[in-house]
């Protein structure tokens, strides 16, 4: 039996948006294509989403939960905090390779929606803030774990590691290769005094 028929219409619309927005982009994906591929009526679509923008907000909210889940499950299989921090970059390398260097869904959408005051950009910032919070928690644990990490400045170093991650994602997408992630990992290790 077709799984699409088993899922609720709202779920089918979001699943279709998850695929199409990521593969084609937000602007290039029309509502009629989403309606057709999610196998719902136009009235059903508009019952659940009053606009493409509202669908995009829901798409980003679901994508956030999925992506952060991937990150956490990959990183938290490591025992030591040093290995978990390095594991963030291992995850990035694996994820970028698996998605054929399509890049970050949030950064891709942000590049298509220039207004900083849109509901879509608000969701992008929420996602990135959650990533920064996750990094802050790890760096706080690292600093508390050993006196060799006493010089870590949590606020400043979290921001630098975050920017290394974002740069690695963009550069990997641009080059279609994983070497930027390794370079960012090595830079983060040097910054934090972690053995490479």
pLDDT one-digit tens code per residue, 103-128: 999 999 999 998 888 999 999 999 99
Percent above pLDDT 90 for the chain:
94
Alpha-carbon torsion 179, 172, 17, 57, what sign? positive
pLDDT of 2 reads 46
Q: How far apart are alpha carbons 80 and 100 in whole angstroms?
A: 30
pTM of the model: 0.91
- pLDDT band for position 25 (cuts 50, 70, 90): very high
Largest separation between any pair of C-alpha atoms in the chain: 62
Length, in residues, of the chain: 196
Q: Is 22 within 8 Å of 102 (Cβ atoms)?
A: yes
Please name each of the domains of the chain with its CATH number: 1-50 (1.10.10.60), 52-192 (1.10.357.10)
DSSP label of 151: T
């Amino acid at each position: 039996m077709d799984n699409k028929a088993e899922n609720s219409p709202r779920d089918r619309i979001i699943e279709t948006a998850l695929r199409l927005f990521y593969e084609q982009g937000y602007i290039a994906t029309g509502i009629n294509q989403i309606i057709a591929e999610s196998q719902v009526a136009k009235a059903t679509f508009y019952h659940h989403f009053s606009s493409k923008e509202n669908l995009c907000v829901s798409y980003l909210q679901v994508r956030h939960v999925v992506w952060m889940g991937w990150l956490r499950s990959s990183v938290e299989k490591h025992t030591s905090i040093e290995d978990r921090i390095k594991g963030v970059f291992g995850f990035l390398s694996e994820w970028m390779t698996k998605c054929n260097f399509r890049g970050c869904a949030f950064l891709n959408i942000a590049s298509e929606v220039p207004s900083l005051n849109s509901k879509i950009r608000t969701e992008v910032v929420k996602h990135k803030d959650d990533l920064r919070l996750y990094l802050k928690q790890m760096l706080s644990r690292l600093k508390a774990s050993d006196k060799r990490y006493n010089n870590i400045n949590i606020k400043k170093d979290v921001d630098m590691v975050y920017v290394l991650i974002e740069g690695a994602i963009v550069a990997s997408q641009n080059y279609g290769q994983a070497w930027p992630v390794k370079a960012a990992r090595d830079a983060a290790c040097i910054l934090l005094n972690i053995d490479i």
